Structure 1
């Protein structure tokens, strides 16, 4: 497909959203697009200068252009959602390129950029989407924390979420258990949960999930792995493998969304997106 490299993700993104009922969290929709396009882990792991995944960043750009075209709704942070027009639209490659040029030219006009600057707008492969700059900034901060500091911060987050009696236990003798807690259904019923915190830049592999599950046996009812990195596709499959206890996985994207939800170390602000299509009928 001609044009910027992120354009090839626009149609799969719309298809995934339709298959998902029209909406989903940032992380689950991006992961579903990657799975739909059969993109191998080694490609997903390639990064841009900021350290963000090149593939995931391209999908973020695809989403931004769909928002600017009025086909996706950006009103709810952390949720990717099709508009009514997006649900009804069936795009082909020609439509995608026309959408791209229309949004790009509108951007150039709005920013009063000269025509010769078009190439700079097209060359966005190494640029983070504006909406996601805070996410990358937060992740970089988390990755630079001391191991102990990251564990204490995770304890704070888990407490905010509503997990009771969170204790950091990370010691060499703990066999990979960094923390414990209790999820209470009511004043009487609850179950034990264990955590593993990985302040990773790279991906968590399936053997980490298997080893952690083995550690969980006889100690807890539920296990959660939290990482600033990502989980490989095989690690995700291992986490939900039939016949064994499920391990809950929280990757960097999900971690950021939790910090956003509980406004932990983040201050929200309102941003408005203009929907050009709305004004067409008044021309």
Structure 2
């Protein structure tokens, strides 16, 4: 496990600080939500600064630090028996806890650590321990090593090959007449496609693909929007990185063409869903509580 970083911005929530906000976000969203919905709800409720929101986890990851820590918070809640993850990637509060809005964080962390087969000495007060990953669990639930390796592969791809990969993902997602333009690297449109909604309404979509190891700035969104012609009805920006808060705000600016965003985590999830370049490996998840309580 890598050592603790020393350049974390002041005010960055610890893993334990995010456990109850994650639970509260799920409750506010009706008891279930996607990762992105949970993320948006938590950062809005906690009033986190752009410095904290945009701080990258590492050069080898498409996640920001806050996204990484939220992944740990979800993992603790899952192992603690409060929430579950569906096959579609949706997180949901278990029925028996549908009215639960707050838990004892110390008890949650200590329980997770006690259930970890390779636990270390964890007698410290969890509130004083910023490195909650050091609990015997090697990775948070959705941060398995293959995701990091795949992210590095995507970053090293030829830009034209990356555009063809995006083309395949869009086709698998229901787009048709998807074409990649011959130009690249100009900040403009990388391809076009059409998508039909409910079998009735179709839209012409322009997309841009950008291999990025950090956060996409708002200027890239503005440049992309500036390249859109009047016949474009929807726009899509695909990246291996993440989107800064200003970039997200710029993409949804009222009165302008709305630009939908697919970040690195979304892209990897779609590659896994459609099994593009990925072969699933069957594993069993152990219900450690069952063996301890039988």
Q: List gaps (5 residues or longer) in structure 2.
A: 1-12
Size of the aligned set, in residue pairs, is: 271
Secondary structure, aligned partner of 2:143: helix
Query: Partner residue of 1:69?
Result: 80
Secondary structure, aligned partner of 1:5: coil
User: Given that residues 70 and 275 in structure 1 are in contact (C-alpha distance below 8 angstroms), is that contact kept between their aligned partners in structure 2?
Assistant: no
Q: List gaps (5 residues or longer) in structure 1.
A: none
Match of 1:13 among 22, 34, 50: 22
Query: Partner residue of 1:238?
Result: 250
| Superposition TM-score, scaled by structure 2 size | 0.80
Distance 2:159 2:114 in 1: 46
Question: Higher helix proportion, which one?
Answer: 1
How far 1:80 moved relative to its partner?
A: 1.5
Match of 2:189 among 171, 174, 177: 177
CA deviations on 1:180-201 (whole Å, 9 max, x unpaired) are 1122458886331111001011
CA deviations on 1:194-242 (whole Å, 9 max, x unpaired) are 1100101121122222222222231311110001111111221222222
Query: Partner residue of 1:82?
Result: 93
Distance 1:174 1:139 in 2: 23
User: Given that residues 184 and 191 in structure 1 are in contact (C-alpha distance below 8 angstroms), is that contact kept between their aligned partners in structure 2?
Assistant: yes
How far 1:267 moved relative to its partner?
A: 2.4
1:47 equivalent to 2:60? Answer: no
Evaluate the alpha carbon distance shift between residue 138 and residue 271 of structure 1 in structure 2; reply closer, same or farther with a 3 A threshold. Answer: farther
Evaluate the alpha carbon distance shift between residue 35 and residue 256 of structure 1 in structure 2; reply closer, same or farther with a 3 A threshold. Answer: farther
Secondary structure, aligned partner of 1:216: coil
Secondary structure, aligned partner of 1:132: coil
How far 1:173 moved relative to its partner?
A: 9.7
User: Given that residues 166 and 180 in structure 1 are in contact (C-alpha distance below 8 angstroms), is that contact kept between their aligned partners in structure 2?
Assistant: yes
Evaluate the alpha carbon distance shift between residue 130 and residue 243 of structure 1 in structure 2; reply closer, same or farther with a 3 A threshold. Answer: closer
Distance 2:123 2:60 in 1: 23
Evaluate the alpha carbon distance shift between residue 218 and residue 131 of structure 1 in structure 2; reply closer, same or farther with a 3 A threshold. Answer: closer
How far 1:49 moved relative to its partner?
A: 7.0
Evaluate the alpha carbon distance shift between residue 69 and residue 221 of structure 1 in structure 2; reply closer, same or farther with a 3 A threshold. Answer: same
Evaluate the alpha carbon distance shift between residue 271 and residue 236 of structure 1 in structure 2; reply closer, same or farther with a 3 A threshold. Answer: farther
